[in-house]
Amino acid sequence: MLSMHTSPLAALGGRETGGMNVYVREVATLLAAGGGGTSGLKVDVFTRRSDASLPEVAEIAPGARLVQIEAGPAAHVEKEDLPALVHAFAAGVEAFAAAEGVTYDLIHSHYWLSAEAGDALAGRWDVPHAAMFHTLGDVKLRARASEREPEVRLEAERRLVRRLDRVVAATEHERRLLRQIYGVSPSKVSVIPLGVDLDQFSPADRAEARRRVGLPEDERVILAVGRIEPLKGLDILIQSLSAMSDLDRVGLYIIGGDERAQPELHRLATIARACGVEDHVHLLGARGHEELPDYYRAADVVAMPSFYESFGLVAVEAMSSGVPVVASRVGGLASTVVDGRTGYLIAWRCPEPFAEKFDLLFANDELRRALGASARLRMEESYAWTRVAASVAALYDELVAAHARPADATAV
């Protein structure tokens, strides 16, 4: 597995950390352990070394290793500067494999930078190459006109989707976008959702969870979790507070952000002051993934006002915790959140519809609890990580078998 720009073991909430990090870590762990009915694979996950103090090789789980590759300085490099390091990263992966005497049966790349490196390695090693882009540049540009994406990314994604043996999409919506925007045949796209740890993210006593994370017991809590960037629509969420009919004892808690998110955090704080809701908005900064279950359990509702989400792992974690989600009807959220059953989907990117749903849920505890229970049941039925790992393993088997067949074996 290639995860060039971010380590699966990195703390969540930063500019480059989120659902993808969780996906790579969980799937690698389960594939190696034989979870989901797999027989147990040897998995090496390669990432670019961004910290000189980290070991070259570390264990993610038995049978799954994380390998740090020297490509550029052993320090943080802005994502915009990483394309220049792709070839060095690919060369480093190749050198590590040669030194270890390891051969790989398949490459699974994550994000376009990794897919670019994987494309070169797949050609040299003559192995099949699957990739999950997690987000696509052209899709982000269509979702929010003010987004900026480098041309090198747009060109690479348009080229790579045609060269890959298989594109892994998180939702049927993403498969449709790949066909409509990039002209990718649906037969070249496998839909495998992200998953959730049903034991870690599970319903529990709300009052006790609030005590553990330090939230007021008598407050009505709206929670938002994720990267702090304009695409997440957190300004809409803050503005929605001023549109609520009853703001008494309402608190909006936003988790996420690192030192590079300070300009956006400052903008959000300015909006809160301008709307007169600064006393209701709490910017908590990043939290460890192991801390999130209690924050979800402490919340009355989780909000995702994003302009685009390829999947929406936060929504799945919240629903697995028995909490309803109010989210924009965009991208993967339209697949993961069932409107009126596990929460609500908002068609318009404006504050008032969010405020209306918050008012409704806070005024009706029975409805809120019913939506949360239904959300948990849906997660149990479809989103266990073991199901995801089994689907990924089956895809690997299919691609390796197809690659091993002679070129004319399928001729009729």
Q: What's the whole-number mean pLDDT along residues 160-168? A: 97
Nearest to 324 by CA among 338, 311, 339, 342: 342
Residue 160 has pLDDT above 90, yes or no: yes
Nearest to 309 by CA among 109, 144, 83, 187: 144
Nearest to 321 by CA among 291, 346, 344: 291
- The answer to whether the beta carbons of residues 255 and 221 sit under 8 Å apart is no
Element (H, E) at 48: strand 43-48
Measure the CA angle with vertex 295, ends 78 and 204; round to 5°: 145
Q: How far apart are alpha carbons 182 and 362 in whole angstroms? A: 43
Please state the separation of Cα 27 from the chain's center in Å. Answer: 13
412 band by pLDDT with thresholds 50, 70 and 90: very low
- The answer to whether the beta carbons of residues 4 and 113 sit under 8 Å apart is yes
Name the burial class of residue 359, with classes exposed (0-12), middle (13-18) and buried (19+) by CB atoms within 10 angstroms of its CB.
middle
Q: Show the beta-strand stretches assigned E in 329-394.
A: 343-346
CA atoms within 13 A on the CB side of 304: 31
Please state the separation of Cα 387 from the chain's center in Å. Answer: 17
258 band by pLDDT with thresholds 50, 70 and 90: confident
Given the candidates 1.10.1370.40, 3.90.105.10, 3.40.1390.10, 3.40.50.2000, the CATH classification of the domain at 19-195+385-404 is 3.40.50.2000
**Per-residue pLDDT tens over the stretch 48-81:** 999 999 999 999 999 999 999 999 999 989 888 9
All residues at 6 or more sequence positions from 24 whose CB lies less than 8 Å from its CB, including other chains = 1, 3, 8, 45, 110
The reported pLDDT for the residue numbered 144 is: 67
The reported pLDDT for the residue numbered 318 is: 97
Q: What's the whole-number mean pLDDT along residues 126-130? A: 98
Query: What CATH fold (topology level) applies to the domain 206-382?
Result: Rossmann fold (3.40.50)
The reported pLDDT for the residue numbered 411 is: 42
- Least confident residue range of 105-109, 140-144, 308-312: 140-144
The reported pLDDT for the residue numbered 310 is: 81
Q: Both tokens of residue 230?
A: 């304009």
Residue 409 has pLDDT above 60, yes or no: no
Measure the CA angle with vertex 107, ends 102 and 109; round to 5°: 130
Determine how β-strand 250-255 pairs with β-strand 64-69.
Answer: unpaired
Q: How far apart are alpha carbons 252 and 183 in whole angstroms? A: 41
Please state the separation of Cα 54 from the chain's center in Å. Answer: 24
Could you check whether 19-195+385-404 and 206-382 share the same CATH topology? Answer: yes
Can you give the residue ranges of every domain in the chain?
A: 19-195+385-404, 206-382
- The answer to whether the beta carbons of residues 353 and 239 sit under 8 Å apart is no
What b-and-e string marks burial along 318-349, b requiring 16 or more CB atoms within 10 Å of the CB? bbbbbbbbbbbebbbbbbbbbeeebbbbbeeb
Quote the percentage of the chain above a pLDDT of 70: 94
Any idea which residue has 């918050």 for tokens?
Answer: 358
Mean pLDDT of the chain: 92
CA-only gyration radius of the chain, Å: 22
**Per-residue pLDDT tens over the stretch 8-40:** 876 554 455 567 888 999 999 999 988 655 567
Quote the percentage of the chain above a pLDDT of 90: 77
Q: Both tokens of residue 206?
A: 């709300």
- Least confident residue range of 10-19, 82-91, 240-249: 10-19
- The answer to whether the beta carbons of residues 169 and 191 sit under 8 Å apart is yes
- Least confident residue range of 18-22, 151-155, 252-256, 313-317: 18-22
The reported pLDDT for the residue numbered 7 is: 86
**Per-residue pLDDT tens over the stretch 335-371:** 899 999 999 999 878 999 999 999 999 999 999 999 9
The reported pLDDT for the residue numbered 3 is: 96
- Least confident residue range of 113-127, 133-147, 151-165: 133-147
**Per-residue pLDDT tens over the stretch 191-205:** 998 899 999 999 999
Strand partners, 344: 326
Q: What's the whole-number mean pLDDT along residues 320-330? A: 96
Between these two residues, 305 and 231, which has the higher pLDDT value?
Answer: 305
